[in-house]
Amino acid sequence: HRHHGTELIRTTMTIQKEHITGYFRDLQDRICRGLEQADGDGQFLEDHWERPGGGGGRSRVLENGAVIEKGGVGFSAVWGELHEAMHRSLGLNEGAQFYATGVSIVIHPHSPKVPIIHMNVRYFELSNGTCWFGGGIDLTPIYVEPEDARWFHQQLKLVCDRHSSDFYPRFKQWADDYFFNAHRNETRGIGGIFFDLLKPDENQSIEFLFGFVRDVAEAFVPIYTSLILRRSEEKFNEIEKQWQLLRRGRYVEFNLVHDRGTKFGLETNGRTESILMSLPPLASWKYNYHPKPDSPEAETLEWLRKGVDWVR
């Protein structure tokens, strides 16, 4: 009887896994189309890759579009033996098989008036029956425009509130804490929402959680298209362009020093090109640079802190 039970879990998980993977694969297609439309000129080039241990993915990159200087939209579905590093972080004592699928996006626009945006949605399951979702959307403006920041957070709150009233406050706080360059005591941008290890339980079924993750994913193109329409026609000068390169440098620092996904991917021999797709084409570091007091650059730094209540 027990054996029959495990088989049942396995079959349900297989159906669920196929369904979620199919959704993510299709999501990548639709997001690429939506971004090409918002850009008006650029096109994504696709790179298929296979993972030696099992599975693979499709990395798509758009370079030198009208609005987007470099944008990456990756899809992957990988499986196999769980890496030792993962065993430890999950507190498992015996070996397990894993399956992971998701979509990850980072967009670096040409203009310093258009923000960098990042989104990730992912699903993970283990052969012992545990499964969870993770993900989120966050924004890194080069110049923080409070009205855009409020609007952005409002959109994410609307998505969260449709599912649970405690999602937005919890996941907003989580994004503040996660996207934080501790070595500089500044947030990477204005945050957004971030969540991980969302596991089904008696209150929230797998369908419920998947519904929430889908809603987050579907919000991405409309949100970013709207920000592009608001800002991409604005003129910018050389000072603003230099500031953009410095802020991109901070973005790189976060991704290489703190980002768990990047570190885990590189430590477990993930595909380097896909993992580093999030890096900007150009960035800069000036020694001991401080913006002039009361400059727009100094004002932006004032906003890069945890706990700003954007939707009060």
The residues that are catalytic are 118
If phi > 0 it is left, if psi is from -120 to 50 it is alpha, else beta; for residue 125 that is beta
CB within 8 A of 160, min separation 6: which ones? 167, 168, 171, 193, 212
* Residue whose tokens read 């430590």: 267
**Which amino acid, one-letter code, is at 185?**
N
CA distances from 48 to 37, 57, 151, 238 (A): 23, 6, 36, 38
- How far is residue 146's CA from residue 62's CA, in Å, rounded to a whole number? 29
All residues at 6 or more sequence positions from 280 whose CB lies less than 8 Å from its CB, including other chains: 69, 70, 108, 116, 248, 251, 252
**Residues in CB range of 281: below 8 A, 6 or more apart:** 63, 69, 70, 108
